[in-house]
Amino acid sequence: MQDSAVKRFGILTSGGDCPGLNAAIRGVCRTAMDEYGMQAIGIEEGYRGLIEGRAHELGRDAFAGILTRGGTILGTSREKPFKMTEVDPETGRTAVESIKYNYKQWGLDALVILGGNGTNSTGALLAREGLNVIGLPKTIDNDIAETEITFGFHTAVSVATEAIDRLHTTAHSHSRIMIIEVMGHKAGWLGLYAGIAGGGDVILLPEIPYNIDPIAKHIKQRKEDGHPFSIVVVAEGALSKEEALLEKKELKKRRAEMPYSIAYRVAKELESATGLESRVTVLGYLQRGGTPVPYDRVLATQFGTYAAHMLAKGDFSKLVALQNGVPVGVPLEKIAGKIKRVPLDHPLLMSAREVGTCFGD
Protein backbone atom coordinates (compact mmCIF):
# COMPACT_ATOMS: atom_id res chain seq x y z
CA MET A 1 0.00 0.00 0.00
CA GLN A 2 1.20 3.49 -0.85
CA ASP A 3 0.99 6.40 1.58
CA SER A 4 -2.10 8.58 1.24
CA ALA A 5 -3.23 12.01 2.46
CA VAL A 6 -6.78 10.60 2.67
CA LYS A 7 -7.88 7.64 4.76
CA ARG A 8 -11.65 7.93 4.40
CA PHE A 9 -13.63 9.75 1.72
CA GLY A 10 -17.25 10.20 0.73
CA ILE A 11 -18.48 9.84 -2.85
CA LEU A 12 -21.76 11.05 -4.34
CA THR A 13 -23.52 11.49 -7.67
CA SER A 14 -25.66 14.56 -8.16
CA GLY A 15 -27.86 16.05 -10.88
CA GLY A 16 -29.22 14.08 -13.82
CA ASP A 17 -28.12 10.47 -14.10
CA CYS A 18 -26.17 9.33 -17.15
CA PRO A 19 -24.24 6.32 -18.46
CA GLY A 20 -20.72 6.09 -17.06
CA LEU A 21 -21.40 7.13 -13.47
CA ASN A 22 -20.99 3.59 -12.15
CA ALA A 23 -17.80 3.10 -14.13
CA ALA A 24 -16.41 6.29 -12.56
CA ILE A 25 -17.46 5.23 -9.05
CA ARG A 26 -15.74 1.89 -9.63
CA GLY A 27 -12.60 3.61 -10.93
CA VAL A 28 -12.30 5.93 -7.94
CA CYS A 29 -13.11 3.42 -5.22
CA ARG A 30 -11.22 0.36 -6.43
CA THR A 31 -8.05 2.37 -7.03
CA ALA A 32 -8.38 4.17 -3.69
CA MET A 33 -8.90 0.90 -1.84
CA ASP A 34 -6.42 -1.34 -3.65
CA GLU A 35 -3.59 1.16 -4.13
CA TYR A 36 -3.90 3.23 -0.97
CA GLY A 37 -6.06 1.32 1.53
CA MET A 38 -8.68 4.06 1.75
CA GLN A 39 -12.24 3.59 2.98
CA ALA A 40 -15.07 4.74 0.71
CA ILE A 41 -18.40 6.00 2.02
CA GLY A 42 -21.23 6.01 -0.53
CA ILE A 43 -23.51 8.99 0.04
CA GLU A 44 -27.09 8.31 -1.04
CA GLU A 45 -29.05 10.53 -3.44
CA GLY A 46 -26.42 13.19 -3.97
CA TYR A 47 -26.35 16.33 -1.86
CA ARG A 48 -29.70 15.34 -0.33
CA GLY A 49 -28.06 12.38 1.39
CA LEU A 50 -25.15 14.55 2.46
CA ILE A 51 -27.60 16.99 4.05
CA GLU A 52 -29.81 14.33 5.63
CA GLY A 53 -26.97 12.11 6.83
CA ARG A 54 -27.66 9.04 4.69
CA ALA A 55 -24.61 7.02 3.65
CA HIS A 56 -23.06 3.58 3.86
CA GLU A 57 -19.61 2.07 3.57
CA LEU A 58 -18.75 0.65 0.18
CA GLY A 59 -17.04 -2.74 0.19
CA ARG A 60 -15.27 -4.27 -2.78
CA ASP A 61 -18.32 -6.37 -3.67
CA ALA A 62 -20.26 -3.15 -4.33
CA PHE A 63 -18.40 -2.69 -7.61
CA ALA A 64 -18.93 -6.13 -9.09
CA GLY A 65 -20.74 -5.96 -12.42
CA ILE A 66 -21.40 -2.21 -12.37
CA LEU A 67 -19.01 -1.20 -15.17
CA THR A 68 -21.67 -1.84 -17.81
CA ARG A 69 -24.66 -0.52 -15.85
CA GLY A 70 -26.24 2.83 -16.62
CA GLY A 71 -27.56 5.20 -13.97
CA THR A 72 -25.90 5.30 -10.55
CA ILE A 73 -25.76 2.76 -7.73
CA LEU A 74 -25.71 5.66 -5.25
CA GLY A 75 -28.87 7.41 -6.46
CA THR A 76 -29.02 11.10 -7.25
CA SER A 77 -30.98 14.32 -6.68
CA ARG A 78 -30.91 17.96 -7.75
CA GLU A 79 -30.53 19.59 -4.34
CA LYS A 80 -28.91 23.04 -4.25
CA PRO A 81 -27.72 23.34 -0.65
CA PHE A 82 -26.49 26.93 -0.86
CA LYS A 83 -29.98 28.06 -1.88
CA MET A 84 -31.55 26.17 1.04
CA THR A 85 -31.15 28.83 3.69
CA GLU A 86 -33.94 27.79 6.06
CA VAL A 87 -33.03 26.18 9.38
CA ASP A 88 -34.25 22.60 9.81
CA PRO A 89 -36.40 22.61 12.98
CA GLU A 90 -35.24 19.07 13.89
CA THR A 91 -31.50 19.63 13.57
CA GLY A 92 -31.31 23.39 14.09
CA ARG A 93 -28.99 23.60 11.08
CA THR A 94 -29.12 24.95 7.55
CA ALA A 95 -28.38 22.61 4.63
CA VAL A 96 -24.76 23.74 4.36
CA GLU A 97 -24.27 23.46 8.13
CA SER A 98 -25.66 19.90 7.97
CA ILE A 99 -23.24 19.02 5.18
CA LYS A 100 -20.30 20.22 7.24
CA TYR A 101 -21.66 18.44 10.32
CA ASN A 102 -22.09 15.08 8.54
CA TYR A 103 -18.72 15.39 6.82
CA LYS A 104 -17.15 15.67 10.27
CA GLN A 105 -19.38 13.04 11.93
CA TRP A 106 -18.49 10.47 9.28
CA GLY A 107 -14.80 11.22 9.73
CA LEU A 108 -14.28 12.14 6.08
CA ASP A 109 -10.98 13.51 4.86
CA ALA A 110 -12.38 14.39 1.44
CA LEU A 111 -15.44 14.36 -0.78
CA VAL A 112 -15.61 13.14 -4.40
CA ILE A 113 -18.53 14.58 -6.37
CA LEU A 114 -19.68 13.29 -9.75
CA GLY A 115 -21.88 15.69 -11.67
CA GLY A 116 -22.38 18.49 -14.13
CA ASN A 117 -22.17 22.26 -13.92
CA GLY A 118 -24.46 22.70 -10.92
CA THR A 119 -22.90 19.86 -8.97
CA ASN A 120 -19.34 21.09 -9.45
CA SER A 121 -20.30 24.74 -8.82
CA THR A 122 -21.67 23.57 -5.46
CA GLY A 123 -18.43 21.66 -4.96
CA ALA A 124 -16.46 24.88 -5.44
CA LEU A 125 -18.60 26.56 -2.78
CA LEU A 126 -18.09 23.65 -0.37
CA ALA A 127 -14.34 23.93 -0.92
CA ARG A 128 -14.60 27.56 0.19
CA GLU A 129 -16.31 26.29 3.34
CA GLY A 130 -13.25 24.21 4.15
CA LEU A 131 -14.15 20.79 2.76
CA ASN A 132 -11.65 18.86 0.67
CA VAL A 133 -13.42 18.35 -2.66
CA ILE A 134 -12.57 16.68 -5.98
CA GLY A 135 -15.04 16.80 -8.87
CA LEU A 136 -15.59 14.57 -11.91
CA PRO A 137 -17.27 15.89 -15.10
CA LYS A 138 -20.48 14.03 -15.88
CA THR A 139 -23.11 15.23 -18.35
CA ILE A 140 -24.60 14.15 -21.66
CA ASP A 141 -24.54 17.84 -22.66
CA ASN A 142 -20.70 18.00 -22.76
CA ASP A 143 -20.97 21.61 -21.55
CA ILE A 144 -18.51 21.70 -18.62
CA ALA A 145 -15.77 24.26 -19.08
CA GLU A 146 -12.06 23.32 -19.15
CA THR A 147 -12.59 19.71 -20.25
CA GLU A 148 -12.57 18.44 -23.81
CA ILE A 149 -15.18 15.81 -23.10
CA THR A 150 -17.48 14.62 -20.32
CA PHE A 151 -18.44 11.03 -19.67
CA GLY A 152 -22.00 10.18 -20.67
CA PHE A 153 -21.85 12.36 -23.78
CA HIS A 154 -20.83 9.73 -26.32
CA THR A 155 -23.49 7.29 -25.14
CA ALA A 156 -26.15 9.97 -25.57
CA VAL A 157 -24.78 10.77 -29.03
CA SER A 158 -25.04 7.07 -29.91
CA VAL A 159 -28.66 6.86 -28.70
CA ALA A 160 -29.69 10.04 -30.53
CA THR A 161 -27.92 8.99 -33.72
CA GLU A 162 -29.63 5.60 -33.75
CA ALA A 163 -32.98 7.34 -33.35
CA ILE A 164 -32.22 9.64 -36.29
CA ASP A 165 -31.14 6.63 -38.38
CA ARG A 166 -34.48 4.95 -37.70
CA LEU A 167 -36.45 8.06 -38.59
CA HIS A 168 -34.80 8.26 -42.02
CA THR A 169 -36.80 5.26 -43.27
CA THR A 170 -40.14 6.69 -42.16
CA ALA A 171 -39.29 10.13 -43.50
CA HIS A 172 -38.40 8.65 -46.89
CA SER A 173 -41.42 6.35 -47.01
CA HIS A 174 -43.94 9.09 -46.27
CA SER A 175 -42.16 12.10 -47.81
CA ARG A 176 -42.35 13.93 -44.51
CA ILE A 177 -40.32 16.36 -42.48
CA MET A 178 -39.21 14.38 -39.44
CA ILE A 179 -38.22 16.55 -36.49
CA ILE A 180 -36.28 15.01 -33.62
CA GLU A 181 -35.69 16.91 -30.40
CA VAL A 182 -32.57 16.13 -28.38
CA MET A 183 -31.36 17.44 -25.04
CA GLY A 184 -29.13 20.49 -24.81
CA HIS A 185 -30.75 23.40 -23.01
CA LYS A 186 -27.81 25.82 -23.08
CA ALA A 187 -25.27 24.11 -25.34
CA GLY A 188 -25.74 22.27 -28.60
CA TRP A 189 -22.97 19.67 -28.54
CA LEU A 190 -25.36 16.71 -28.51
CA GLY A 191 -27.48 18.10 -31.34
CA LEU A 192 -24.39 18.92 -33.39
CA TYR A 193 -22.70 15.53 -33.03
CA ALA A 194 -25.85 13.44 -33.43
CA GLY A 195 -27.12 15.67 -36.23
CA ILE A 196 -23.93 15.24 -38.24
CA ALA A 197 -23.63 11.51 -37.48
CA GLY A 198 -27.27 10.91 -38.39
CA GLY A 199 -27.20 12.98 -41.57
CA GLY A 200 -29.54 15.71 -40.33
CA ASP A 201 -30.53 18.09 -43.14
CA VAL A 202 -31.20 20.86 -40.62
CA ILE A 203 -29.65 21.24 -37.17
CA LEU A 204 -30.91 23.90 -34.75
CA LEU A 205 -28.72 24.79 -31.78
CA PRO A 206 -28.95 27.25 -28.85
CA GLU A 207 -25.80 28.98 -30.09
CA ILE A 208 -27.27 29.82 -33.53
CA PRO A 209 -30.67 31.58 -33.38
CA TYR A 210 -32.77 30.43 -36.31
CA ASN A 211 -34.98 32.07 -38.90
CA ILE A 212 -37.65 29.77 -40.32
CA ASP A 213 -37.39 31.21 -43.85
CA PRO A 214 -33.93 29.84 -44.80
CA ILE A 215 -34.91 26.48 -43.29
CA ALA A 216 -38.08 26.35 -45.38
CA LYS A 217 -36.10 27.39 -48.48
CA HIS A 218 -33.56 24.63 -47.82
CA ILE A 219 -36.27 21.98 -47.45
CA LYS A 220 -38.13 23.17 -50.57
CA GLN A 221 -34.90 23.02 -52.53
CA ARG A 222 -34.34 19.46 -51.38
CA LYS A 223 -37.80 18.55 -52.70
CA GLU A 224 -37.05 20.18 -56.05
CA ASP A 225 -33.82 18.18 -56.17
CA GLY A 226 -35.75 14.94 -55.77
CA HIS A 227 -35.56 14.55 -51.97
CA PRO A 228 -39.15 15.01 -50.72
CA PHE A 229 -38.24 14.29 -47.09
CA SER A 230 -36.00 16.05 -44.55
CA ILE A 231 -34.55 15.32 -41.11
CA VAL A 232 -34.50 18.26 -38.70
CA VAL A 233 -32.52 17.87 -35.46
CA VAL A 234 -33.54 20.41 -32.78
CA ALA A 235 -31.76 20.94 -29.46
CA GLU A 236 -34.26 21.64 -26.68
CA GLY A 237 -32.64 25.04 -26.10
CA ALA A 238 -32.85 26.19 -29.73
CA LEU A 239 -34.35 29.64 -30.13
CA SER A 240 -35.48 31.96 -32.90
CA LYS A 241 -33.72 35.18 -33.84
CA GLU A 242 -36.58 37.10 -32.22
CA GLU A 243 -36.20 35.18 -28.97
CA ALA A 244 -32.45 35.81 -28.98
CA LEU A 245 -33.17 39.53 -28.57
CA LEU A 246 -35.22 39.02 -25.40
CA GLU A 247 -33.99 39.48 -21.87
CA LYS A 248 -33.27 36.21 -20.07
CA LYS A 249 -36.31 36.51 -17.75
CA GLU A 250 -38.68 37.32 -20.61
CA LEU A 251 -37.40 34.39 -22.67
CA LYS A 252 -37.80 32.04 -19.73
CA LYS A 253 -41.35 33.30 -19.18
CA ARG A 254 -42.30 32.79 -22.83
CA ARG A 255 -40.87 29.31 -22.90
CA ALA A 256 -42.75 28.42 -19.72
CA GLU A 257 -45.99 29.56 -21.38
CA MET A 258 -45.45 27.38 -24.46
CA PRO A 259 -47.90 24.43 -24.39
CA TYR A 260 -45.33 22.19 -26.11
CA SER A 261 -41.60 21.80 -26.55
CA ILE A 262 -39.56 23.65 -29.18
CA ALA A 263 -39.70 20.80 -31.74
CA TYR A 264 -43.48 21.08 -32.00
CA ARG A 265 -43.25 24.80 -32.64
CA VAL A 266 -40.67 24.27 -35.36
CA ALA A 267 -42.94 21.61 -36.90
CA LYS A 268 -45.89 24.01 -37.06
CA GLU A 269 -43.69 26.76 -38.50
CA LEU A 270 -42.31 24.46 -41.20
CA GLU A 271 -45.69 23.02 -42.16
CA SER A 272 -46.97 26.56 -42.62
CA ALA A 273 -43.91 27.68 -44.60
CA THR A 274 -43.50 24.59 -46.81
CA GLY A 275 -46.90 22.91 -47.00
CA LEU A 276 -45.18 19.61 -46.16
CA GLU A 277 -46.39 17.26 -43.45
CA SER A 278 -44.25 17.18 -40.30
CA ARG A 279 -43.92 14.71 -37.47
CA VAL A 280 -42.12 15.16 -34.13
CA THR A 281 -40.13 12.77 -31.96
CA VAL A 282 -38.87 13.97 -28.57
CA LEU A 283 -36.19 11.63 -27.21
CA GLY A 284 -36.21 13.01 -23.67
CA TYR A 285 -34.80 10.75 -20.98
CA LEU A 286 -34.01 7.95 -23.42
CA GLN A 287 -30.77 9.81 -24.09
CA ARG A 288 -29.68 9.47 -20.45
CA GLY A 289 -30.48 5.79 -20.01
CA GLY A 290 -29.04 2.44 -20.90
CA THR A 291 -25.62 0.85 -21.02
CA PRO A 292 -22.63 3.18 -21.49
CA VAL A 293 -20.77 2.79 -24.77
CA PRO A 294 -17.16 1.56 -24.48
CA TYR A 295 -15.75 5.09 -24.89
CA ASP A 296 -17.65 6.34 -21.84
CA ARG A 297 -16.67 3.30 -19.77
CA VAL A 298 -13.01 3.89 -20.60
CA LEU A 299 -13.18 7.66 -20.03
CA ALA A 300 -15.09 7.36 -16.74
CA THR A 301 -12.63 4.74 -15.48
CA GLN A 302 -9.70 6.95 -16.46
CA PHE A 303 -11.23 9.94 -14.67
CA GLY A 304 -11.98 7.80 -11.62
CA THR A 305 -8.50 6.36 -11.22
CA TYR A 306 -6.98 9.81 -11.67
CA ALA A 307 -9.27 11.18 -8.95
CA ALA A 308 -8.08 8.45 -6.57
CA HIS A 309 -4.46 9.49 -7.11
CA MET A 310 -5.45 13.12 -6.48
CA LEU A 311 -7.05 12.05 -3.20
CA ALA A 312 -3.84 10.31 -2.17
CA LYS A 313 -1.75 13.41 -2.96
CA GLY A 314 -4.18 15.77 -1.23
CA ASP A 315 -4.73 17.60 -4.51
CA PHE A 316 -8.09 19.12 -3.63
CA SER A 317 -10.50 21.83 -4.87
CA LYS A 318 -10.11 20.58 -8.42
CA LEU A 319 -12.10 19.00 -11.23
CA VAL A 320 -10.66 16.06 -13.16
CA ALA A 321 -10.67 17.24 -16.77
CA LEU A 322 -9.42 15.98 -20.12
CA GLN A 323 -7.02 18.35 -21.85
CA ASN A 324 -4.91 17.41 -24.88
CA GLY A 325 -6.18 13.87 -24.44
CA VAL A 326 -4.91 13.34 -20.88
CA PRO A 327 -6.51 13.81 -17.43
CA VAL A 328 -5.50 16.91 -15.46
CA GLY A 329 -6.71 18.68 -12.35
CA VAL A 330 -8.40 22.05 -12.97
CA PRO A 331 -9.37 24.37 -10.09
CA LEU A 332 -13.10 24.14 -9.41
CA GLU A 333 -13.23 27.92 -9.31
CA LYS A 334 -12.32 27.99 -13.01
CA ILE A 335 -15.37 25.97 -14.05
CA ALA A 336 -17.97 27.13 -11.50
CA GLY A 337 -20.89 28.92 -13.11
CA LYS A 338 -19.53 28.55 -16.66
CA ILE A 339 -21.04 26.86 -19.69
CA LYS A 340 -18.96 25.45 -22.55
CA ARG A 341 -20.97 26.36 -25.64
CA VAL A 342 -20.32 25.40 -29.24
CA PRO A 343 -18.01 28.09 -30.72
CA LEU A 344 -19.38 29.58 -33.93
CA ASP A 345 -16.08 28.81 -35.64
CA HIS A 346 -15.91 25.20 -34.44
CA PRO A 347 -14.52 22.84 -37.12
CA LEU A 348 -17.55 20.54 -36.82
CA LEU A 349 -19.87 23.42 -37.69
CA MET A 350 -17.73 24.19 -40.69
CA SER A 351 -17.75 20.53 -41.80
CA ALA A 352 -21.53 20.31 -41.42
CA ARG A 353 -22.06 23.43 -43.52
CA GLU A 354 -19.73 22.08 -46.20
CA VAL A 355 -21.84 18.93 -46.62
CA GLY A 356 -24.99 21.00 -47.00
CA THR A 357 -26.42 21.15 -43.48
CA CYS A 358 -28.67 24.13 -42.74
CA PHE A 359 -28.45 25.80 -39.32
CA GLY A 360 -31.28 28.26 -39.87
CA ASP A 361 -29.06 31.35 -39.92
In this structure, are 145 and 36 located in the same domain? yes
In this structure, are 147 and 177 located in the same domain? no
- List all residues 6 or more positions away from 127 whose beta carbon is below 8 Å from its beta carbon: 133, 316, 317, 332
Q: Are 161 and 286 in contact (CB under 8 A)?
A: no
Q: Indicate if the pLDDT at residue 316 is higher than 80.
A: yes
pLDDT in the model for residue 4:
85
In a domain, 77, yes or no: yes
In a domain, 349, yes or no: no
- State the Cα–Cα distance between residues 86 and 104, nearest whole angstrom: 21
In this structure, are 244 and 331 located in the same domain? no
pLDDT in the model for residue 173:
80
Tell me: the pLDDT tens digits for 18-54?
999 999 999 999 999 999 999 999 999 999 999 999 9
pLDDT in the model for residue 249:
87
pLDDT in the model for residue 314:
96
Domain-terminating residue out of 227, 262, 288: 288
In a domain, 165, yes or no: yes
In this structure, are 173 and 116 located in the same domain? no
In this structure, are 98 and 181 located in the same domain? no
Q: Report percent pLDDT > 90 for the chain.
A: 84
In a domain, 130, yes or no: yes
Banded pLDDT at 215 (limits 50, 70, 90):
very high
Report the DSSP beta bridge partners of residue 137: 115
Domain-terminating residue out of 271, 288, 305: 288
In this structure, are 234 and 300 located in the same domain? no
Our count of domains for the chain comes to 2
In a domain, 2, yes or no: no
Domain-terminating residue out of 257, 288, 319: 288
In this structure, are 259 and 297 located in the same domain? no
In a domain, 356, yes or no: no
Out of 17, 141, 201, 296, the active site residue is: 141
CATH of the domain at 184: 3.40.50.460
Overall average pLDDT of the 99-109 stretch: 97
Instruction: Using CA atoms of 116, 191, 344, 245 in order, give the dihedral in degrees to the nearest 10.
Output: -90
Q: Are 187 and 339 in contact (CB under 8 A)?
A: yes
Instruction: Confirm whether 141 is a catalytic residue.
Output: yes
In a domain, 357, yes or no: no
In this structure, are 64 and 135 located in the same domain? yes
Q: Are 131 and 103 in contact (CB under 8 A)?
A: yes
Q: Are 46 and 14 in contact (CB under 8 A)?
A: yes
Banded pLDDT at 248 (limits 50, 70, 90):
confident
Distances (CA, A) of 293 to 28, 120, 157: 19, 24, 10
**Mean predicted lDDT score pLDDT of the chain:** 94
In a domain, 3, yes or no: no
pLDDT in the model for residue 117:
93
Tell me: the pLDDT tens digits for 156-201?
999 999 999 999 888 888 778 999 999 999 999 999 999 999 999 9
In this structure, are 103 and 178 located in the same domain? no
Banded pLDDT at 254 (limits 50, 70, 90):
confident
Instruction: Using CA atoms of 323, 324, 328, 329 in order, give the dihedral in degrees to the nearest 10.
Output: -30
In this structure, are 266 and 328 located in the same domain? no
Tell me: the pLDDT tens digits for 267-292?
999 999 998 889 999 999 988 889 99
CATH of the domain at 59: 3.40.50.450
In this structure, are 31 and 62 located in the same domain? yes
How many residues are present in the chain?
Answer: 361
| DSSP secondary structure letter of residue 285 | G
In this structure, are 199 and 261 located in the same domain? yes
Q: Are 18 and 114 in contact (CB under 8 A)?
A: no
Overall average pLDDT of the 327-331 stretch: 97
pLDDT in the model for residue 303:
98
Residue numbers of the domain that contains 208: 156-288
Report the DSSP beta bridge partners of residue 330: 319
Burial class (CB in 10 A: 0-12, 13-18, 19+), 190: buried
